[in-house]
Amino acid sequence: MKAGIVGLPNVGKSTLFNCLSNAKAQSANFPFCTIEPNIGVVNVPDPRLEKLEELVKPERVLPATVEIVDIAGLVKGASKGEGLGNQFLANIRETDAILHVLRCFDNDNIVHVDGNVNPIRDKETIDMELQLKDLETVDKKLDKVKRAAKTGNKEAQKEEAILLKIKENLEAGVSVRALEFSEEDYVEYVKPSQFITDKPVMYVCNVDEGAAVSGNAYVEQVREAVKDENAEVLVLAVGTEADINELDDYEERQMFLQDIGLKEPGAAKLIRSAYKLLNQQTYFTAGVKEVRAWTVNVGATGPQAAGVIHTDFEKGFIRAEVIAYEDFVTYGSEAKVKEAGKMRVEGKNYIVKDGDVMHFLFNV
Ligand SMILES: Nc1nc2c(ncn2[C@@H]2O[C@H](COP(=O)(O)OP(=O)(O)OP(=O)(O)O)[C@@H](O)[C@H]2O)c(=O)[nH]1
Ligand SMILES: [Mg+2]
């Protein structure tokens, strides 16, 4: 599962990537600096892991990770090959969620491809290109299904109706994610097409450091424009945070963050939000050798969670011993949780909860 950083050229996408990841992407003050996507595996900051470390005192601690991809800038006409064009839409298609970066800072020295700062227009430009790309997809599908529908094939007729609904909405500037379908129709006819505008999205407003805490007028415009989208809007002083991230010393980084009014980097919040956007959650294993956060889809079962560690664990799954994170912290150790009767034994149908501390029993 990976989240892609998307937006116009020169709005700070690679700079954002550099706030998140230690893999450094080239960023520069000219449009289309990025061509090949930069991929980074980013640790998901989780205070619970520090707490477990304190209690268990393991030899090592491993955080959960999430993959972030920095993609080339899109411009008007990208769907028709403008700018760096179509290839980048393909890069976006390969991601599972979109972090849409909007320039919300003034600075005459930083080139804006459309001449002036206007995050609402920018958002519409990007949305439209993504929608046009999806229109191509839907038209191709319609071509195929039309013939079968004409011969009276009921399945094909149903698919045709759904595709037409998507087409009409895309033409009216409505993204697929905003449309409603029955669960069945969605799984059967919509999901397989992997529409770009069906991917979950959040907006990242790139502001200057004075606006890092409470945003600015541009951010308010963005909030207003997306209020019906049910999407998160995050405010981040991307340039400043990238500079702070360059510092090796933790204390020094904290000091600079405090200077701009932050307790933790906005980037940390963004990573956690991206993780949620990807529908991911964490369970822990807590042994003296290793305390570790593992990633599973929301809704994963016990065996599926075990399978993240090893496929044999999934195949040979017998049961799981589960301690809620809060109980682990309250009682302080696995032994004390057991004494208090708070350890649960769960079977194959158990739905994993975020923060579960788990131990699997299996045979192979
Ligand atoms: N003042 C200011 N400059 C910024 C900020 N974020 C990025 N920049 C500058 O804007 C320029 C473009 O940033 P990049 O991160 O390369 O932009 P990009 O979106 O990756 O651009 P492309 O790869 O060309 O699509 C660089 O010179 C950055 O230093 C910011 O928050 N404030
Ligand atoms: Mg770039």
Q: Is 265 in the pocket of ligand 1 (CB under 6 A)?
A: no
Q: Is 31 in the pocket of ligand 1 (CB under 6 A)?
A: yes
Q: How long a stretch of residues is the chain?
A: 364
11 CA from centroid of ligand 1 (Å): 5
pLDDT-above-90 percentage for the chain:
83
User: Mean per-residue pLDDT for 199-203?
Assistant: 98
**pLDDT for position 126:** 95
**pLDDT for position 224:** 97
pLDDT-above-70 percentage for the chain:
98
Q: Is 33 in the pocket of ligand 1 (CB under 6 A)?
A: yes
Q: Whose CA is nearest to atom 13 of ligand 1?
A: 12
Q: Which two tokens stand for residue 278?
A: 């990807």
SS3 54: helix
pTM of the predicted protein model: 0.92
- The sign of the dihedral angle between the CA atoms of 88, 94, 100, 101 is negative
Q: Whose CA is nearest to atom 16 of ligand 1?
A: 27
Q: Whose CA is nearest to atom 31 of ligand 1?
A: 239
- Per-residue pLDDT tens digits for 127-186: 999 999 999 999 999 999 999 999 999 999 999 999 999 999 999 999 999 999 999 999
Q: Is 208 in the pocket of ligand 1 (CB under 6 A)?
A: yes
37 CA from centroid of ligand 2 (Å): 9
**pLDDT for position 74:** 85
- Per-residue pLDDT tens digits for 240-273: 999 998 888 889 999 999 999 999 999 999 999 9
Point out the annotated binding site for ATP. 10-15
CA–CA dist 119, 8 (Å, integer): 10
The 8-class DSSP code of residue 197 comes to G
25 CA from centroid of ligand 1 (Å): 11
State yes or no: pLDDT of 216 exceeds 90: yes
| Confidence bin at 118 (pLDDT 50/70/90) | very high
**pLDDT for position 59:** 97
Which comes out higher in pLDDT, residue 77 or 233? 233
Q: Which ligand is nearest to the CA of 212?
A: 1
Q: What is the mean pLDDT of the chain?
A: 93
User: Mean per-residue pLDDT for 289-317?
Assistant: 96
| Confidence bin at 324 (pLDDT 50/70/90) | very high
